[in-house]
Each structure stands twice: as C-alpha cells, then as structure tokens.
Chain A
Amino acid sequence: MPTISLTQSLVISLIQCVLVVVFIFVVVPLTVFAERKVLGYLQQRLGSTRIAGHLGGLTGLLNRGMWKLGKVPVLSYWRGLPGLVGDVMKMLLKEDILPTKADKFVFWIAPALSFVASVVVFATICFVPGTFFTFPTWVPFLGGLPVSGGIADVNVGLLWILGMATVGVYGIVLAGWASNSKYPLLGGLRSAAQMVSYEVPLTLSLLAPVLISGSLKFSEMSQAMAVGVPLWAIIPQVIGFLIYLTCGFAETNRVPFDMPEAENELVAGFHTEYSGMKFGFFYLAEYVNMTVVSAMAAGFFLGGSWLLPFGLQGVVNPYLASLPSWLVTLLCEPHAAFFAIKIVFLLFVFIWVRGTIPRYRYDQIMAVAWKYLIPLTLVNLVLAAAVRLAM
C-alpha cells in the first residue's frame, strides 16, 4: 500500500463527502416520491400518477405519456415522478415569507441548524467495511490509493451521531420560538420534550450493541454485531432493534409520534410560519434523519454490510465453506449493496408504519417512553451483559 500524504488524504475525504452528499440527494427525493406511492398502495390507491398545472401543453403531454407507462410492467411504478420536479421547483421558487414580528436571525438559523445537524451525522457512518474502492493507477495524484467506506470512522462515532441528534432539537425549538406565533411555539416545546425523552431509551438501546461489541466505532460495532456474536445474542438484538426503531420514529418526528406537527391540533407545528426553501430545509432534514436512523438500525441490528440480520451471519459463516465458491462470493462480497438494501427496506418500514398506525396522544407518547421503553431497555441491557459474559 502506498503511503498517503496529508494533501491526498484531504482530497480523498473531500471525494467521500461529495459521494455522501450525492447519496443523500438521490435517496431523499426518491423517498419523498416513494412515500406518496407506498402510502397510496397501502390504502389501495395508486398514489400519484399524473401532474397538474399549465405548462403550455407539456402537462398534457407528460400525463398522456404516464398513462401509457401505466401498462408497462415495471415502469408503471414510476408514474408521477415528474411531480417530484414540481415539488423541488415549488420549494425553490415560492415566496419566502418572514412574519412581521418574527426574530429574523433565529428564524433564519433554525432551518440551517436542523439540516446541518442531520447531514453531518453521515461523517461517521461506515457504508462498507474496509476499502470501498481503490483508484486505478492512471488517475493523476490519487492513483492506487484506497478510499475507505466511511468519511471519518472515528472511535467515538456513535457518540458523534447521538450528539448531533441532540443538536438537531435546536432547529425545531428555535423555529418554534422565532416564529412568534402560538402554534409553532407549542409544537416546538412539545417536540423538545418528546425528543429529549426519547433520547434516553434510544441511547440505552444502543448501549447493548456497545456492550456486546466493546467499541464505539461504527465499523467495529457493525462488524461485531453482524459476524462476531453467538446465536443466542439474537434475543437482545431483536428486542433492541424494536426499541431502537420505536425511538427512531419519535426522534425523526414521524407518525405515530409526529407531535410537533400534529395537524389537527397545531396546524403544522413548528414550521407553520415557514415557507419556501426554509421549509424545504426542515422537510429535507426530516428525510435525511430517516435515512440516518435507518442506516444506524441496519448497521447495529440488521447485520450492516452482511447478508443476514441479527448476527445470524456469524453463526452461518462456518458452514459457508461447503458451498461453491461463486455462491460464497455472492453471499459475502457485495457489502455496499446489502447495506443499501437494508436502508431502503427500513425507509419502507417508516412509510409502512405511517400508513398503518394513527397518531398517539401526547401523554401516551411520554408514557410509552418513560414507563415502557426505558424499563425494557434496562432489561435488554442486562441480557446483553449476559451475552457479553458468555462470549
């Protein structure tokens, strides 16, 4: 392996950052689109299949084309995709309204804080164990250098993720306050209380993987949980996964825990007064947060970059030797694909739950966190400690 100079490693990090940002801006709009379609399918509808508006005949042309696509097997799911472009255009071009008595500075900084805190988390998430790809030798300056699977797979990665999740609360609270309006303020306060409460079981449920793997590094934890645990470690993993997912719903303010924007009581909660791209940042942050929670759940509980979830891969691995080698390669090598598939599946679960479960009442949300989830996580922690002892 060639030695890497500081400049080269900085350039490589920059490339990784660009890759991650591209990943985010591919996944997030597709999730927004998938949300419409999947919610429709869950309710026996077809989701969005056409677009509206007057674009000088273009609308009619597109709609006729999409109607024809409806009879083509796979492409029929993509009807309504032009509506996504319309969404983005609307966010970028809509009038940006500043309420008269709003605190201008805080009103500006809140969406930025929310968005940055959610994107920055991706720094420590490790998509592929070890090397992602190596630059071919003909590339100038970077030829032959490896690019690792995460931007900064530091040994306090988990703490960084949790810390940034707490910083994300500020975006919502400050937005609620700065709007100088009753509903946003109530929404902001509710969300702060909710997110601070759910951080406790969330962190406790993640402590079980920390305990079992003995590390705070994303890649090490993911690897240990996927291939390094005995069979019966599946019990704390499954319980931990369910708790973590519940808390993840609450942390990302999704249905059934979408208290900050409970429409029937709070109009639109903390972003009632926001419009245009400022609202767009909140919107993006929500979906980026969903991706982060999915990535963490996939990494810590669903086997990360390996095929089987809940640490079953490590149990199965010894028996793989008897299989033909091409099959082993297929089952073990495409790490990035496995990780991506798990993230996509969990995003689907987010939407699935949204289409199924109605919103909880506020006191019920708090009761679930403090009375049920926290005791359960403590029990789970004891189980994880037993696993650790037996390993």
Chain B
Amino acid sequence: MEQLEQLFSTVLTRHVFLIFGVLSVIGAGAMIFSRNAVHSVIGFLLAMLSIAGAYLCLRAEFLAMAQILVYAGGIVVLFLFVVMLVEMTKYKERKIFQTQTPVALVVVLISAVTFLGVFLKTIFGKSAEVALTLNPELTGDGLNAATHNVQAVSRGLFADYLLPFEILSVILLVALVGAVVLAKSERG
C-alpha cells in the first residue's frame, strides 16, 4: 500500500507532466511534418491542449484554461477555417506558398539561440530563484497563488501591471481596426 501511494504520488507530480510534454512535442512534430494542412492543424491542436495540461501540472489552472479557450478554442479554429478553404493541391500553388524556406531557417536559428540564452540564464543564472517563484507581491493580501489562481492573475493584470495591459489592449484594437480598414478598402 505504501509503495502504491509512493507510485501514484511520483506519477502525479512528475510523470504526468512528462506525458503532456512528450504529447506536445509529438503534436508539434505532427504539425510540421504532415503533408496535409488539416492534419497539421490537428497536430497543432494536440500540442496546444497538451501544453494546457502541462500548465495544469504546474498548478497554473487559470493559464491552462486560458490556453484552451484562446488557442484551442479561438485561434486554431480560425486556422482550420482558412486551411479548409485554401486547398493546396497543385504543385504551382505549393511553390508560391513555400518560397520562404531559407529565410525561415535563418529566423528560426536566430530565435532559437536567443531563446536558449534566456532559458539558460533564467534556470541556471542568478535570477533563477526569483523567476521560478511567483511574484511575492502577488501572494500578499492573503491571496494564495495555489488556491486563488484567478484572483492572483487578475490582481497582476488589473492592479500591478494595469498600464502595460491597457496598452496591449489598445494595440490589439488598432490591429482589429486596421484589419477592418484593409478589408473595406479592398472591396472598393
């Protein structure tokens, strides 16, 4: 019984996260390597859902649910919409859409190096301790980040970082208006 207990506790704390991690990598791989665009979107969906699961394992419930709502529910549906309507069967069309391979390689390399640098610094560098714990000011006022996840996030968004949040909203609004303007002017 004691061993079973131990087993469950290890599985729940470590292995589930591992499973979700592997699943998200598989999903991402399927997204990149599959020939069919709709299969790619399904891979993307799997990756997004597994990432949400990984967030859950890290006790960031709100983030996990936001991940599902925003990415799985909103963005991937739009992807699917576009992909379903644009059928790339002809070789010519494929060529039009795939001219950016060398550019993409360069961009990916640069961003990978940057990301790895940041990654190494946050985990093994000086700021590791701070980065891996929640901001201490969020846990004040009797808010326990583990049980009041939503409240903690909302306090961060609407009290501590209100100005950046509002600026972000305005930027999104600008993008929205811009899209409408572009669509309108094209129509004539």
Is chain B in direct contact with chain A in the complex (CB below 8 A)?
yes
Spell out A's residues near B (CB within 8 Å).
5-7, 10, 103, 105-106, 109, 154-156, 159-160, 162-167, 169-170, 173-174, 177-178, 185, 188-189, 192, 196, 199, 216
* Bound complex: CA A199 to CA B74 (Å): 10
Question: Interface readout for B28-58 with A: 1 if CB under 8 Å, 0 if not?
Answer: 0000000010110010010001000000000
Q: Knowing A105-B39, A156-B150, A159-B62, say if A5 contacts B73 (CB, 8 Å).
A: no
Closest A residue to B34 using CB positions? A105
Q: Knowing A7-B4, A154-B61, A159-B66, say if A170 contacts B38 (CB, 8 Å).
A: no
Min CB–CB distance B37 → chain A (angstroms): 10
List the A side residues contacting B65 at CB < 8 Å.
156, 159-160, 163
Verify B150–A6 contact, CB threshold 8 A: no
Residues of chain B in range 75-117 having any CB-CB distance to chain A below 8 Å? 76-77, 80-81, 84-85
Verify A166–B77 contact, CB threshold 8 A: yes
* Bound complex: CA A5 to CA B3 (Å): 12
Verify A103–B36 contact, CB threshold 8 A: yes
In the complex, which of the residues A105, A109, A155 has the most CB atoms of chain B within 10 Å of its own CB atom? Answer: A155
- Chain B contact residue count (CB 8 A cutoff): 32
Closest A residue to B76 using CB positions? A170
Verify B77–A155 contact, CB threshold 8 A: no
Min CB–CB distance A382 → chain B (angstroms): 18
| B1 part of interface (Cβ distance < 8 Å) | yes
| B135 part of interface (Cβ distance < 8 Å) | no
Partner of A156, one of B62, B72, B74: B62
Verify B42–A174 contact, CB threshold 8 A: yes
List the B side residues contacting A199 at CB < 8 Å.
73
Partner of A6, one of B12, B49, B62, B77: B12
List the B side residues contacting A169 at CB < 8 Å.
73, 77
* Bound complex: CA A5 to CA B74 (Å): 39
Listed by A's residue number, 17 A-B pairs whose Cβ atoms lie within 8 Å are A6-B5, A6-B8, A7-B4, A7-B8, A105-B39, A106-B39, A159-B68, A163-B68, A163-B69, A163-B73, A166-B68, A166-B77, A169-B77, A170-B45, A170-B80, A173-B80, A188-B84
Min CB–CB distance A273 → chain B (angstroms): 16
Min CB–CB distance A164 → chain B (angstroms): 8
Closest B residue to A199 using CB positions? B73
Closest A residue to B68 using CB positions? A163
